[in-house]
Amino acid sequence: MKTQARVVVIGGGAVGVGTLYHLARKGWSDVVLIERRELTSGSTWHAAGLLPLFNLSYSVGQLHKYSVNLYRSLEEETGLNAGLSTVSNIRLARTQDRMDEYKYYAGIARTIGVHVDFLTPAEVKEIWPLMETHGIIGAIRHPEDGYIQPADLTQAMARGARNRGAEIYRNTTVTAISQKPNGEWLVTTDRGEITCEHVVSATGNFARKTGEMVGLDIPVIPVEHQYIVTEQHPLIMERRAKGLPEMGVLRESDSSWYMREEAGGLLLGPYEIGAPCCYVDGPSPTSEYELFQEDLDRLAPYIETAIERVPAFGEVGVKRVYNGAIAYTPDGSPIIGPAWNLRNFWLNEGHSFGITAAGGAGWQLAEWIVEGEPSVDMMGVDPRRFGPYAGRGYLRQKTEEAYAKVFTVHYPEEERGAARGLKRSPCYDRMAARGAVFGTVYGWERPGWFAPPGYALTASDLAKPDVLVNENHAEPDADGVIREKWSFRRSNAFPFVGAECRHVHEKVGLLDMSAFAKFEVSGPGAAQWLDSILTNKVPKAGRVSLSYLLTRRGGVRSEFTVFAMGPSSFYLVSAGALERHDGDYLIKLLPRDGSVRLERVTTQYGVFVLAGPRSRDLLAKLTDTDLSNAAFPWLTGKMISVGAATALAMRVNYVGELGWELHHPIEMQNYLFDLLFQAGAELDLKPFGIKAMDSMRLEKSYKLIPREMSIEYSAYESGLDRFISLKKGDFLGREALLTWREDGLLNAFVTLEVLDVTDADARGSEPIYIMNELVGRTTSGGFGWRVGKSLALAMVRPDLAVIGQALEVTILGERHRAVVIADSPFDPTNEALRS
Ligand SMILES: Cc1cc2nc3c(=O)[nH]c(=O)nc-3n(C[C@H](O)[C@H](O)[C@H](O)COP(=O)(O)OP(=O)(O)OC[C@H]3O[C@@H](n4cnc5c(N)ncnc54)[C@H](O)[C@@H]3O)c2cc1C
């Protein structure tokens, strides 16, 4: 065994081998893979091998598409047949909401270049004559989808890697991993040690065990998954004898199962409610090719619906049941990317569709390692999208939930019920008493909108179509009442959100943004350091600026509100969802000479956004600080007293109205809340939620990561010119940004008014056309209540970023006229913010 290598990949399943293969393809031949038993002896060998292209995540969708293309070329490259069967995949719809999901998905597919067709029930029957079509209202079909033999795929990629110089050590177990003072890793195995620059953990069901070796609590716990293979069926054998094509993979989403032909019989895989998590403390050290005891009782309702749909399934005996472990993360997407807190330690874990993802995940991770950045926006799979809250107890609940919801309709505003109430700001109960309907971000409960007193959906509002899988509303609140029904169209929250927007615009509102990520940066080198990593000039003491952390390629990684508390101490605020992500980048960029200190203070401070024309009058009642424009202008901040409490008041907000963000010690939150609401009674202070904020930020054309801003778009494409100071000297990504602009920008940020909208606004990821030419994609969308327009933010071809340009946006399958309008349709000159 080698003692030195550039990269050590741990784990010889499809995912680890896919990573090794791509590292070698990138030209890094000095790479090794270590597998404790035989290749594929983890989850890979027993996978059903399906390659579903369908995925509502922009990141995962691109990985899956890449994989399928790669798998097609492997045999030619390696001489090994990976058993790819491009038999197509049909997903059935029995409800209108399911059809809406498919229509929304078809838009995403169009923007990432995945081919999908819509079929009528009669067309489905033609392709799948063994199925009954009762209850089906439509279907989608991916002609390029199919299945593969997972073990053969892994072997083909292993050969491809070996051919390029990579080495694979089987029957070798990694027992310890440590980092040397010079940053190199020492990987200890039962057959010797290897020193390397990078380690990739691709250990499937062992992920948490591997994490323990380096002090990472990796948010992955497997869940049991079963599939059933039947004996041969005469009708299928007859089709084969006649040389008829395979009927393809069939997915009855509304009954939560997949089915395909297998060796003349049928293979059925349900995703049932109640499947338990497993290997919570890791598989046993001797585990290999392991299956669990089958439990068909758990599958009974699903089997019943499968027989109703495909009677042939019930007509032959069961040949074999596979019950194996499938790794899950809390949201069901894998974790691919750098580990937090550690340099050059990479995770490719938590794959529940790992055969499908292996190629794409390996491709992007190899780019990340070799080139320093991936080319696809990986935010949806970044390991740092979960925080330390995602520990064992949380994971047990969330991974079982993620498994049970594989086939539920994934509404854009879906808020799942497991492990709720975990992180609450102190004012949670007060907000709940005022009717808050909560959503979550990074584990925090956050008011989404406010229902009026006594508001509850009725039984008829909640009436569900009669299908097995149908969860179209939020969980009941603490009082047992259900207040939110989800939709791809305007939901029942729509008018209430409108009322909140109007109230903020006309009077004054309070939003709890305590989930914001917050960092304190200080020390003699602080200003210089921030200058060297962020795009904008470091603000002068007492001032606030918006600044961006770019990738080395000039894409946008993070956005920070920077407040200068003094010449060498700064307070940085960024998106709540990105707390670990942004903190990790900041920490890894810190100078090593100790001249800059960084403290994570997210949980030390709560944040209230006080906004609206009456916000000054309200705050003035409680503070002796002069709040006049002259004394406290827009984009400045001060420590002020509010009653007996102290808060950092910053004159900024994301809604475009006069207002202040009050960053306060979290333990003073309820004192402050009560004081504000007592003083605010005569000014009609009301709380508002994140949905109203989102509507108002659209009207200001304010951008979000990873929508309008992402690593895939240059900061200039995202329209951040005024936050980029080229004069101040060098900063991270500056040269690449300029080169990108010189080479030519491919996209331009625009604000669109979408016309003829009745009940469905854009949401983001809708395709934009001129005639039939795809010319861009929306990144966000919704209704702007202050301007009375359906709006979308979008990236389009630069020559089309002209006010008045006519375009078309497809929303849920319908073409809408749209027109490019000036940014910030509400108050373009910021009169309200400056008032
Ligand atoms: C019943 C079933 C059906 C499935 N069907 C599909 C499907 O149709 N399509 C699909 O895409 N996915 C499917 N999956 C999921 C798929 O099997 C997994 O996502 C995929 O196999 C994960 O691959 P992996 O490489 O991450 O993990 P694994 O295949 O589990 O590989 C991890 C490897 O790491 C090794 N390892 C761990 N720790 C160490 C160590 N310390 N030292 C050395 N080696 C170590 C293990 O021995 C193991 O071989 C299915 C899963 C199940 C259970």
Q: Is the peptide bond between 567 and the residue preceding it cis, with omega within 30 degrees of 0?
A: no
Question: Does the pLDDT at position 137 exceed 90?
Answer: yes
Amino acid at position 414, single letter:
E
Pairing mode, if any, of strands 192-201 and 345-349? parallel
Please report which confidence band the pLDDT of residue 480 belongs to, taking 50, 70 and 90 as the band edges. confident
Residue nearest atom 52 in ligand 1 by C-alpha distance: 47
507-557 tens-digit pLDDT: 999 999 999 999 999 999 999 999 999 999 999 999 999 999 999 999 999
Give the pLDDT confidence score for residue 463 in this predicted structure: 87
- Work out which ligand 1 atom sits closest to the CA atom of 213: 41
- CA–CA separation, 554 vs 537, rounded Å? 17
Question: What pLDDT does residue 58 have?
Answer: 81
| Alpha-carbon gap, residue 342 to 383, rounded angstroms | 12
Beta strand 686-687 with 509-512 is parallel
Single-letter amino acid code for the residue at 156? A
Rg, the chain, Cα only: 27
Q: Which residue has the tokens 């696809």?
A: 376
Q: What is the dihedral of CA 627, 631, 634, 639, to 10 degrees?
A: -70
Q: What is the structure's pLDDT at 475? A: 87
On the 0-12 / 13-18 / 19+ scale of CB atoms within 10 A, 170 is middle
Q: What is the mean pLDDT of residues 648-654?
A: 96
CB atoms closer than 10 angstroms to residue 566 = 11
150 CA: nearest ligand 1 atom: 21
**Does the Cβ of 11 fall within 6 Å of ligand 1?**
yes
Rounded Cα distance, 768 and 809, in Å: 5
Residue 12: both structure tokens together: 């010889």
Integer Cα distance of 419 and 75 in angstroms: 45
Q: Which of 716, 700, 705 is nearest to 749 (CA)?
A: 716
C-beta of 501 in contact with ligand 1 (< 6 A) = no
Residues belonging to the chain:
835
Output the six-digit token pair for 334: 């894998």
**Cβ-based neighbour number of residue 437 at 10 Å:** 24
The residue whose CA has the least distance to atom 31 of ligand 1 is: 13
170 CB within 6 A, ligand 1: no
Phi, psi of 498 (to 5 degrees): -60, -45
| pLDDT, tens only, 426-450 | 999 999 999 999 999 999 999 999 9
Residue nearest to atom 10 of ligand 1 (CA): 353
Per DSSP, the three-state class of 35 is coil
Residue 257 CA to ligand 1 center (angstroms) comes to 20
Least confident of 326-330, 468-472, 586-590, 596-600: 468-472
Quote the distance between the C-alpha of residue 286 and its chain's center: 35
Query: Is the CB of 47 inside a 6 Å radius of any atom of ligand 1?
Result: yes
Can you give the three-state secondary structure of 92-143, one letter per residue?
A: EECCHHHHHHHHHHHHHHHHHCCCCEEECHHHHHHHCCCCCCCCCCEEEEEC
Q: Is the CB of 200 under 6 A from ligand 1?
A: no
Contact 558 CB / ligand 1 (< 6 Å): no
Q: Could you write out the DSSP letters of every residue in 337-396? A: EEPTTSTTEEEEE--SSHHHHHHHHHHHHHHHHHHSS-SS--GGG-GGGS-TT--HHHHH
Q: Which of 40, 50, 206 for a ligand 1 pocket mutation test, highest count of atoms within 8 Å of Cβ?
A: 206
- Whether 256 is in the pocket of ligand 1, judged by its Cβ within 6 Å, is no
- One-letter amino acid for residue 772 of the chain: N
Strand-pair category, 345-349 with 767-770? unpaired
Residue 829: count other Cβ atoms within 10 Å of its Cβ: 8
Q: Is the beta carbon of 16 within 6 A of some atom in ligand 1?
A: yes
Express each pLDDT in 379-404 by its tens digit.
999 999 999 999 999 999 999 999 99
Residue 635 φ then ψ, to 5°? 65, 30
* C-beta neighbour count of 507 within 10 angstroms: 17
**Average pLDDT of 794-808?**
98
> Would you say 646 and 639 are in contact if contact means Cβ atoms under 8 Å apart?
yes
Ligand 1 touching residue 362 (CB < 6 A): no
Specify the residue with its C-alpha closest to ligand 1, atom 33.
11
- Sign of the C-alpha dihedral computed for residues 8, 10, 12 and 14 taken in this order: negative
SS3 annotation, 431-467:
HHHCCEEEEEECCEEEEEEECCCCCCCCCCCCCCCCC
**Structural tokens at position 24:** 């070698």
The answer to whether the Cα torsion of 711, 714, 717, 719 is positive or negative is: positive
- Decide if 533 contacts 629 (C-beta within 8 A): no
**Region at 98 (left for phi over 0; alpha for psi -120 to 50; beta for the rest):** alpha
Q: Helix axis angle, 150-163 relative to 58-78, nearest 10°?
A: 70
DSSP assigned state of 474: P
CB-ligand 1 contact for 205 (6 Å cutoff)? yes
Q: Is 794 in the pocket of ligand 1 (CB under 6 A)?
A: no
Task: For ligand 1, say whether the CB of 44 is within 6 Å of any of its atoms.
Answer: yes
- The amino acid present at 211, given as its one-letter code, is G
- The answer to whether the CB of 173 is under 6 A from ligand 1 is yes
Among 433, 399, 435, 434, which residue's Cα sits nearest to residue 416?
Answer: 399
Give the strands of the sheet with 556-566, arranged side by side: 544-550, 556-566, 569-574, 517-522, 597-600
> What pLDDT does 708 receive?
97
Closest CA to 741 of 720, 717, 719: 717
Ligand 1 atom index nearest CA of 50: 8
Structure tokens given for 511: 């939003």
Does the beta carbon of 553 sit less than 6 angstroms from any atom of ligand 1?
no
Residue 29 structure tokens: 């031949």
d(CA 276, CA 47): 18
pLDDT surpassing 90 at residue 97 = yes
**CA-CA distance, 456 to 474, in Å (whole number)?**
12
Q: What is the pLDDT of residues 561-571, one digit of tens each?
A: 999 999 999 99
DSSP symbol at 27 = T
Q: Which of 145, 203, 227, 365 to mutate to test the pocket of ligand 1 (most atoms within 8 A of CB)?
A: 203
356 Cα nearest atom in ligand 1: 11
**Atom of ligand 1 at shortest range from CA of 16:** 25
Model pLDDT, residue 627: 98
Nearest atom in ligand 1 to the alpha carbon of residue 203 is: 34
- Bridge partners, 323 (sequence order): 226
Contact 492, 484 (CB under 8 A): yes
Output the CA 40–ligand 1 centroid distance in Å. 7
- Taking the C-alpha atoms of residue 131 and residue 311, their distance in angstroms, rounded to an integer, is 7
State if residue 473 touches ligand 1 by the CB under 6 angstroms criterion: no
- Give 354 Cα–ligand 1 centroid separation in angstroms: 7
- Closest ligand 1 atom to 173 CA: 42
What is the pLDDT, as a whole number, of residue 182? 97
CB of 15 sitting under 6 A from ligand 1? yes
Report whether residue 206 contacts ligand 1, using a CB cutoff of 6 Å. Answer: yes
Helix (H) or strand (E) holding 775: strand 773-784
The strand order across the sheet containing 117-119 reads 117-119, 138-142, 89-93, 249-252, 257-262, 265-270, 221-230, 318-328
* Interval 810-826 mean pLDDT: 98
Q: Is the CB of 174 under 6 A from ligand 1?
A: yes
CB distance 35 to ligand 1 below 6 Å? yes
| Confidence band of 470 (pLDDT split at 50, 70, 90) | confident
Token output for 700? 């200001």
Residue in 21, 34, 43, 185 to alter for ligand 1 test, most ligand atoms within 8 A of Cβ: 43
Cβ of 13 below 6 Å from ligand 1: yes
Say yes or no to pLDDT of 479 above 90.
no
> For residue 249, is pLDDT > 90?
yes
The pLDDT tens digits for 714-743 are 999 999 999 999 999 999 999 999 999 999
Pocket flag, ligand 1, residue 325 (CB < 6 Å): yes
Residue type present at position 703: K
Residue nearest to atom 21 of ligand 1 (CA): 44
* Distance in Å, CA 221 to ligand 1 centroid: 12
Residue 42 · residue 289 · CB < 8 Å: no
Residue range 1-30, pLDDT digits in tens: 999 999 999 999 999 999 999 999 999 999
Determine whether the shortest distance from the Cβ of 225 to ligand 1 is under 6 A. Answer: yes
Per-residue pLDDT, averaged over 155-171, amounts to 98
Bridge partners for 819 per DSSP: 753, 806
To the nearest 5 percent, what fractions of the chain are helix, strand and coil? 30, 30, 45
The three-class DSSP label of residue 567 is coil
Q: Round the average pLDDT of the chain to a whole number and report it.
A: 97
Is 435 touching ligand 1 by the criterion CB < 6 Å? Answer: no
Find the Cα–Cα–Cα–Cα dihedral 296, 302, 303, 305, rounded to 10°.
160
Mean pLDDT of 603-612: 98
Q: Cβ distance 749 to 793 under 8 Å?
A: yes
Say yes or no: CB of residue 71 within 6 Å of ligand 1.
Answer: no
Cα 204 to ligand 1 centre (Å)? 5
Nearest CA among 711, 716, 717 for reference residue 726? 716
Q: Is the CB of 399 under 6 A from ligand 1?
A: no
Q: How far does residue 699's CA lie from ligand 1's centre (Å)?
A: 46
Please say if the pLDDT value at position 757 is more than 90: yes
Give the Å distance between the CA of 327 and the centre of ligand 1.
Answer: 8
Q: CA–CA separation, 112 vs 107, rounded Å?
A: 9
Q: Where are the beta strands (DSSP E) in 655-799?
A: 659-665, 686-687, 748-754, 767-770, 773-784, 789-796
CB 46 less than 6 A from any atom of ligand 1: yes
Pairing of strands 806-811, 767-770: antiparallel
Ligand 1 pocket, 354 CB below 6 A?
A: yes
Q: How far is the CA of 203 from the centre of ligand 1 (A)?
A: 8
Sign of the four-CA dihedral 586, 587, 590, 594: positive
177 lines ligand 1 (CB under 6 A): no
Q: Is the CB of 24 under 6 A from ligand 1?
A: no
Return all residues near 207 (Cβ < 8 A) that are at least 6 apart.
201, 218, 220, 327, 347, 349, 350
802: its two tokens = 């002209």
The continuous run of DSSP H or E covering 325 comes out as strand 318-328
CA distance 518 to 470: 38
What is the separation of C-alpha 397 from the centre of its chain, rounded to a whole number of angstroms? 19
- Structure token pair of residue 651: 């004159």
